[in-house]
A = this chain, B = another copy of it.
Amino acid sequence: MNKPKIVILGAGYGGIMTTVKLQKMISVNDANITLVNKHDYHYQTTWLHENAAGNLHHDNTRVPIKDVVNFSKVNFVQDTVESIKPDDNKVLLKNGGEIDYDYLVVGLGFEAATFGIPGLIENAFTIDSINTARLIREHIEYNFAMYNNDPEKKQERLNIVVGGGGFTGIEFVGELANRVPELCKEYDIERSKVRIINVEAAPTVLPGFDPQLVEYAMNSLESRGVEFKLGTFLKECHPDKIVVEKDEKREEIPTLTTVWAAGVRANSIVEESGFENNRGKVEVKPDLRAPDYSNVFVVGDCALIMNKETERPYPPTAQIAMQMADIAAHNLKALISGSEETEEFVPEIKGTVASLGDDDAIGVVFGKKLFGWQATVMKKVIDNRWLLKLGGIGLLLKKGKFNIFH
């Protein structure tokens, strides 16, 4: 009898945790497990804004897959997924290869949603990988380095625009607010010449957060020189400026650095591969399987789960992706052994903390509002918890965040 083939696509939070769980739960005699990922490392997407600002080295944000996946139990294929053929139980890869599966786990993550805003794809940066995060860091530094070399000083080198006042946008401007004074010192530029501008279409930043915490966050950031343009739409993005609109009035802001952090969607491979989808995401069954293919699990940002209380989808977070991995691994084991029913996924929102730089944060943890030092500590606890779950004490000690006393 042939062993069933389990193929996991993507080594983000959902995919790699599914792999790590499976390699412990399933014997090599019972199944072949293959992990496919573009890079030979996993990275913590929720830390990338720190790398992009230049406050944390990206090597702290990534973990070599070989450090957490046992290659004697799991085949690792470094390649980019081109498409999934769920009717044929096949995955096509960029380098021309293809992989058959009996069971598939789709954990292909997100991509930026640019809502058709002219020029955004061509001219704006997005914080979505190690490659783009370190490019943003270098792009900002390069423009600071150029500033004093231009015969005529160009303000667009020192204006940094961040589109979106959601979680990522706010965390990123928080990091920038800490980083910019260092850059000014490095390149002999007055701090007052640099602008950090957050553009948000909604009337407030951090929608969904308690208004008291939002006010705390805005005060903290404004006191460190962040400008907010609320109720303001980004209409056009050019190489050297953006056009925003508020109350039907347009304004141009000269900038060579626009970072778009105002929306994500599921990896478009999911939609293109023909899965039944809801705005690009697979609305999974309670046990995380795709509605139309009972041998395909979807985890992380490609999966849609409705919150029955609010009648809105749960937001795509690392927290939920990790919890999904537990259930996906459990259910795969159940299907293969034929001995158990599949389990239902029940998300448990323990809390959410948004950092405002390295030394301030806001959040809600187990229903309690936190800000300042307490929230900062809790944010680091959350980040460290992932490392502990992924690679145990060894990984935690290597990459953990322990600089909690400022």
Contacts and interface: CB of A to CB of B under 8 A. Distances in A.
Interface of A: 130-132, 134-135, 137-139, 141-142, 144-146, 148-149, 186-188
A142 B137 CA distance: 9
A43 to B, nearest CB: 12
Nearest to A133: B145
Question: For the complex formed by this chain, how many copies does it contain in all?
Answer: 2
Q: Would you list the 10 A-B pairs with minimal beta carbon distance, nearest first?
A: A138-B145, A142-B142, A135-B145, A138-B142, A131-B148, A135-B149, A131-B149, A134-B145, A138-B141, A135-B146
12 contacts: A131-B148, A131-B188, A134-B145, A134-B186, A135-B146, A138-B141, A138-B145, A138-B146, A139-B142, A139-B145, A141-B142, A142-B142
A187 B134 CA distance: 8
Contacts of A131: 148-149, 188
A131 B188 CA distance: 9
A146 to B, nearest CB: 6
A371 to B, nearest CB: 35
Classify the interface of chain A: helix, strand, loop or mixed. Answer: helix
Nearest to A135: B145
Contacts of A186: 134
**Most-contacted residue by chain B among A131, A138, A139 (CB, 10 A):** A138
A90 to B, nearest CB: 25
A138 B135 CA distance: 12
A99 B131 CA distance: 53
Nearest to A41: B188
A3 B146 CA distance: 43
Contacts of A146: 135, 138
Contacts of A187: 134
**Most-contacted residue by chain B among A130, A134, A144, A145 (CB, 10 A):** A145
A143 to B, nearest CB: 9
A219 to B, nearest CB: 34
Nearest to A40: B188
Contacts of A149: 131-132, 135
Given A135-B145, A135-B149, A137-B145, 13 more contacts: A130-B188, A131-B148, A131-B149, A132-B149, A134-B145, A135-B146, A138-B141, A138-B144, A138-B146, A139-B142, A139-B145, A141-B142, A142-B142
Contacts of A137: 145
A318 B372 CA distance: 53
